[in-house]
Structure 1
Amino acid sequence: MAATLKDVAALAGVSIKTVSNVVNGYDFVKPENRRRVLAALEATGYRPHRGARNLRRGRTGFIALMLPELSIPYFAELSGLVITAAQRLDWDVLIEQTQGARDQERAALASMGPYMIDGAIVSPQALEQADFAELSPGVPLVMLGEHDIEVAIDHVAIDNVRAARTAVGHLLEIGRRRIAAIGDNPRRGTAALRRTGYREALAAAGLPERGELIVTALEYHRHEGAQAMRQLLALPQPPDAVFCFNDLLAIGAIRTCAEHGVRVPEDVAIVGFDNTEESAFSVPSLTTITPDKAAIASTAVDLLHRRGTETFAAQDIEIPFTLEIRESTVGRMA
């Protein structure tokens, strides 16, 4: 039989209320009583009922995380970081995978009731502004990434325009001038911002944006990067550099270059975006934009936690990024 509060209290020689105060972390317990209760807890192996404790606190103990696709390494890594941040606050995370489909994203929002979760972190791909009206009142929400949606909810993202300018600026600094872009996609808000940064970097260098060097990608998978690179290499004047809107597209592009005897970075330099773990182990290793994913996760979780006890205006928080320079743009470094 599992030990109860009554068992712990009897062994420690204190009241059940004193045991409850120690278990719940309250400070107003005499040091000697706390010592006896802690010893009794260890001796009996008592474990508090987490669900009951959360109900007493007026919370469910769960938050939701809505993401497009866990097979994309960026979202898989981000999920792990959100879970770690949530565990520090005694939350479990329920993950919804939507495949970036509007009907699935709407259904996920509609299912988020205040008696089921304490809040939600969402990274939508296809939601429109009106869809957020379906969210149950009283459910705190944090949106990740940059989207053309004006709703009064907390928002955590990096500056995608500036990050793209940084990536393309690096390619310009190493002497590249015919720079392609893989990843344009009208369905993705971040894609439009990254293309804007790409265009601004070219303009600052006095270079036009050339339509034949812009390749669309719908799902941001490796095979799309590989196919896009084949399309670019077939041009009468292939690019001497490529800015890819995520790491998977870049890794696919590197594979196609290898198959066609095109040297990276000697013939074509390639930059990715996200700095997923795979990017450090590709051959050559991938230069990439590095968003602070740990900061994105912890900031989003902390905002949900604050929403449980505070009232404040919707926050728009910008997370820093860096450029990780590796072999795909500068070759093997000594």
Structure 2
Amino acid sequence: MAATMHDVSRLAGVSIKTVSNVINDYPYVREETRQRVLDAIATLGYTPNLSARSLRSGRTNVISLMIPDLRNAYFAELADSVMRAAAERGLSVLIEQFGDERDREIDVLRQPRSQMVDGVLYSVLALDQSDVDIIAGMPVPVVLLGERIFNGPRDHVTMRNGEGARAATEHLLGLGRRRIVALGAHPGEVIGSAALRLEGYREALAAAGLPFDEELVVPVGSWHRRNGADAMRGLLARGVRFDALVAFNDAIALGALRVLQEAGLRVPEDVAVVGFDDIDETQYSMPTLSTIDPGREEIARTAVDLLVRRIEGGSAPFTPEEILVPYRLIPRESSGSAAG
């Protein structure tokens, strides 16, 4: 039979209340007593009843991370960063993915599981400013990630999309490139990663005194490798002249890179390429991919820390915080300026 708290109490020679205090990390327990209880737990292989414990404390020590798609390397690596940051705070992470459908995203937000955790980190995709009531109505603390809702009813941690894309474009301009493709646009989008990165691209061109050429703006619906490859094949088939490429994420940059090489174009000699996200694969592609590091580790750590503050603050009123983390340009072989 499984060991019980009574068994631990008898072996350690302490009361059940003392065993409970040690399990719940109560601070006012003598170190010698705490160690006896821990030794008894280890000897007996006792596992606390976490369900009963959460009912007593009102805490599960579990948070939820809601993201669009784990097949997207950025979100997979973000999930890893969140899980490591959460583990340092003694938290487990339940990952929910909702794809690119608005109805599915709302369903995930409203499902019972989202109310059975201590808090939620939510990377918004299909919802926007008009949906703030849905976010405000969630019954647990929430920290928003992503670029769809700004100055909303919840804390928000995100990256500097526009500034990062501008830095990528300026990097290529500084290398003497003048016909720079913007790969990954979402036509009609006003708020979102694609719109913000396109604006940064436009700002860099304007600052350099270059015209904005719609022919060099290439839409890509989903930001996966195959979509970047397909978009590049279409661009080459149209005979558009270009000497550089700013891709709005690394995955489509890697897809485009393959097609450029298949077409006999040299990277970076004929076409210099910069991506966005600094996913792990960019260090091992041929050539290695220049990219923008958007501060993924800091986003994860800041969001987890902020969520823990809101959880521990209970229902106390607060003013939502809007936090943008720093980015950095990482030049590598694909732009001909690899860092040492």
Distance across 2 between alignment mates of 1:30 and 1:213? 69
Counterpart residue number, 1:232: 235
Alignment of 1:49-128 (within 5 A): 49-111=49-111, 115-128=115-128
Counterpart residue number, 1:165: 166
Distance across 2 between alignment mates of 1:333 and 1:298? 26
Displacement of 1:113: 6.7
Distance across 2 between alignment mates of 1:10 and 1:162? 63
Deviation sequence 1:167-205 (CA, Å, 0-9, x none)? 001001111111110010145611100000000000000
Distance across 2 between alignment mates of 1:227 and 1:33? 66
Q: Which has the higher mean CA deviation after the structures are superposed, 102-111 or 129-138?
A: 129-138
Counterpart residue number, 1:296: 299
User: In the alignment, which of 325, 333, 339 is matched to residue 327 of structure 1?
Assistant: 333
User: In the alignment, which of 314, 317, 325 is matched to residue 320 of structure 2?
Assistant: 314
Specify whether residues 204 and 196 from structure 1 end up closer, same or farther in structure 2 by C-alpha distance, changes over 3 A only: same
Q: Counterpart amino acid of 2:181?
A: A
- Provide structure 2 residue ranges, at least 5 long, that are not aligned to the other structure: none
8 Å contact from structure 2 (residues 184, 248) kept in 1:
yes
Identity percentage over the alignment?
Answer: 50
Displacement of 1:164: 0.7
Counterpart residue number, 2:244: 241
8 Å contact from structure 1 (residues 168, 201) kept in 2:
yes
8 Å contact from structure 1 (residues 171, 269) kept in 2:
yes
SS where residue 47 of structure 1 aligns?
Answer: coil
Counterpart residue number, 1:212: 215
Specify whether residues 45 and 285 from structure 1 end up closer, same or farther in structure 2 by C-alpha distance, changes over 3 A only: same
After TM superposition, the runs of 4+ consecutive aligned structure 1 residues lying more than 6 A away are none
Alignment of 1:167-206 (within 5 A): 167-185=168-186, 186-187=188-189, 189-206=192-209
User: In the alignment, which of 262, 268, 278 is matched to residue 271 of structure 2?
Assistant: 268
Q: Counterpart amino acid of 1:324?
A: I
8 Å contact from structure 1 (residues 100, 124) kept in 2:
no
What CA RMSD, in Å, does the superposition of the two structures yield over aligned residues?
Answer: 1.9
Q: Which has the higher mean CA deviation after the structures are superposed, 259-268 or 123-132?
A: 123-132
Q: Counterpart amino acid of 1:43?
A: T
Distance across 1 between alignment mates of 2:33 and 2:312? 31
SS where residue 52 of structure 2 aligns?
Answer: helix
Q: Which has the higher mean CA deviation after the structures are superposed, 313-322 or 137-146?
A: 137-146
Distance across 1 between alignment mates of 2:239 and 2:115? 61
**TM-score scaled by structure 2?**
0.92
Deviation sequence 1:99-127 (CA, Å, 0-9, x none)? 12111111111225774122211112211
8 Å contact from structure 1 (residues 113, 139) kept in 2:
no
Specify whether residues 118 and 299 from structure 1 end up closer, same or farther in structure 2 by C-alpha distance, changes over 3 A only: same
Specify whether residues 71 and 39 from structure 1 end up closer, same or farther in structure 2 by C-alpha distance, changes over 3 A only: same
- Provide structure 1 residue ranges, at least 5 long, that are not aligned to the other structure: none
Counterpart residue number, 2:258: 255
SS where residue 267 of structure 1 aligns?
Answer: coil
Deviation sequence 1:197-239 (CA, Å, 0-9, x none)? 0000000000011010000010011122122222333455511
Distance across 2 between alignment mates of 1:228 and 1:302? 39
Alignment of 1:30-41 (within 5 A): 30-41=30-41
8 Å contact from structure 2 (residues 122, 142) kept in 1:
yes
Distance across 2 between alignment mates of 1:233 and 1:328? 19
**TM-score scaled by structure 1?**
0.94
Specify whether residues 39 and 236 from structure 1 end up closer, same or farther in structure 2 by C-alpha distance, changes over 3 A only: closer
> Alignment length, in residue pairs?
334
Q: Counterpart amino acid of 2:157?
A: V
